Structure 1
């Protein structure tokens, strides 16, 4: 079989799909891309055994049809160093010899039989379906990923928890020290949907939805989900288990409130953080009147830093410490001009919310404190 495709188009698609694959595979064939040619469409599959991505590319000058497995690393490295131009593939389905011709040269290598590459069957009959705007799904995932846990001892927290109900989409992530809960208003009401996306799958879906404008169709059951986009289909295993009751840990009656310019606080934390403890990265925030004092110190290296910021504050004086990196992550993933800190005392979690201009979006972050002297 033969076909012609643009080198840059193919290289970009394969680089994107390679993120599905892993260097440690249970089967050698999973280090290959599966190419299936039918008509003027080339379908490419990449997998790590649990996640599958299928993508369709238009091709030209087609002769024949069939399928073959191509070694991923070799093909990617060859295309990565090639300027944009049409390249022709000639594949001998008997010997599996592959020739790639381009303007001033050619590559020759051997592929693997497509018979060794197993693709999953369709979802069970109890699968459900829901459709959602790609931009909203992308926003929900991207605003939650930074808070996902990486603890193998608590695998249920190593993902983004998505819930759709009535006219609401909610995404939640937590690592036990910080928590983010983002709520978005849907245009059309939906039946109740909830599933837990593993971190790797969430990152891939986040990347795929950033490049399309058409709605995403999600087919899912208790164990798997399939995301169908315009030219891509992604299938993954879901995390199974009961997600923590995150609403119960969010304080409802923190009496102290401060409104602060987000960028001013973010850059102050970055500067002060350079001089704070390398052991715990603690940033101390002292709320008093119209001033916020941000400080950090490292006794081991005799370094310290302190800055004063203006804030609109109401409540009792509160001195509270946070891990600087967590504060930075929350502020960097917030787009509003100002943020509100709702505080109890130095031992209670702080609730951080942006002042959103969009009434259809509600963002909330919770951050556990670090005890300070």
Structure 2
């Protein structure tokens, strides 16, 4: 509830306001705003001052001209963002890859992220879009959106036009500018003929990777996987410091004996995106990308993750 003596507007630095409010106990606060936009905040035990700005300088909300609108569960968007965000590139020289690519169609919504070393594709087939369209949403707005939206089945309204994305939930609306760039043709890099299937316990594999990667080269985080029958061996070394680590673990494997190396940090992050007890890794040769999938499918969802191998150390 808000009790105001006068009406007015002011811009306050968001970080200072939030950092102060989250450390104040639940209590009434009084905001006094002077003619120069100085703001004095008074609590039961303290008084705080911050210099605001003229609200006329605040950017105007872009109009939703010629926007297309559809609805989806809030949890569906939150899940899509969580599955993809870690694979977004930080390379500003390739702006198209610094966001998540959304592919809309009447058959569902697909979100894709890649940094050229790994790729994540997440699809929801229970979301109906009025038309086919594609756009790229930057990483920072997506981080804010997933932190604000509830992870529930509440329906949210999504609108988009050539330049902006609008996400409306309850009485709140979030707007962000889309990335004006062409996303690479990700479909051509997904192998369709990886005949070897490695099935492992996700948690056991993650923990083994964490332990062994401690001894890897810190610039590559390389861990070599040697698969023979029902045994998986993990090995890492840093020749500069004479570090070396090896572990063995049980697995299910259908294929010829194989040795292949990956960035352990990438594998650990990708395994975290799979919500199953076991994952299957589809492999072919030491120089071809591996495909990681959960062994159990969630209804209306499909998750595929690709990771490029590293050159094996001699």
**Class of the TM-score when normalised by the shorter of the 2 chains:** over 0.9
Confirm whether residue 79 of structure 1 aligns to residue 21 of structure 2.
Answer: yes
Mean CA deviation greater in 336-345 or 217-226: 217-226
Confirm whether residue 262 of structure 1 aligns to residue 193 of structure 2.
Answer: no
Q: CA RMSD for the aligned pairs?
A: 1.9
Task: Name the TM-score, length of structure 1 as normaliser.
Answer: 0.79
User: 2:59, 2:127 → 1: CA distance?
Assistant: 39
User: 2:92, 2:52 → 1: CA distance?
Assistant: 36
Q: Secondary structure at the match of 2:125?
A: strand
Contact kept in structure 1, 2:64 and 2:161, CA below 8 Å: yes
Deviation at 1:184, TM superposition (A): 1.5
User: 1:183, 1:262 → 2: CA distance?
Assistant: 21
| Aligned partner (choices 39, 51, 55) of residue 114 of structure 1 | 55
Q: In the superposition, relative to structure 1, how do residues 330 and 115 fare at CA in structure 2: closer, same or farther (>3 Å)?
A: same
Residue segments in structure 2 that go unaligned for 5+ positions in a row: none
Number of the residue aligned with 1:291? 231
User: 2:284, 2:247 → 1: CA distance?
Assistant: 23
Contact kept in structure 1, 2:276 and 2:294, CA below 8 Å: yes
Number of the residue aligned with 2:9? 67
Deviation at 1:80, TM superposition (A): 4.3
Mean CA deviation greater in 95-104 or 156-165: 95-104
Q: In the superposition, relative to structure 1, how do residues 88 and 275 fare at CA in structure 2: closer, same or farther (>3 Å)?
A: same
Confirm whether residue 154 of structure 1 aligns to residue 114 of structure 2.
Answer: no
Higher share of residues assigned strand: 1
Contact kept in structure 2, 1:356 and 1:362, CA below 8 Å: no
Task: Name the TM-score, length of structure 2 as normaliser.
Answer: 0.93
User: 1:319, 1:196 → 2: CA distance?
Assistant: 36
Deviation at 1:299, TM superposition (A): 1.2
Contact kept in structure 2, 1:262 and 1:336, CA below 8 Å: yes
Q: In the superposition, relative to structure 1, how do residues 213 and 65 fare at CA in structure 2: closer, same or farther (>3 Å)?
A: farther
Contact kept in structure 1, 2:167 and 2:175, CA below 8 Å: yes
Contact kept in structure 2, 1:212 and 1:230, CA below 8 Å: no
User: 2:278, 2:246 → 1: CA distance?
Assistant: 21
Residue segments in structure 1 that go unaligned for 5+ positions in a row: 1-58
Q: Which has the higher contact order (CA 8 A, sep 6+)?
A: 2
Deviations 1:73-114 (A, max 9, x none): 55445434432211122334x454533332234345553322
Number of corresponding residues? 313
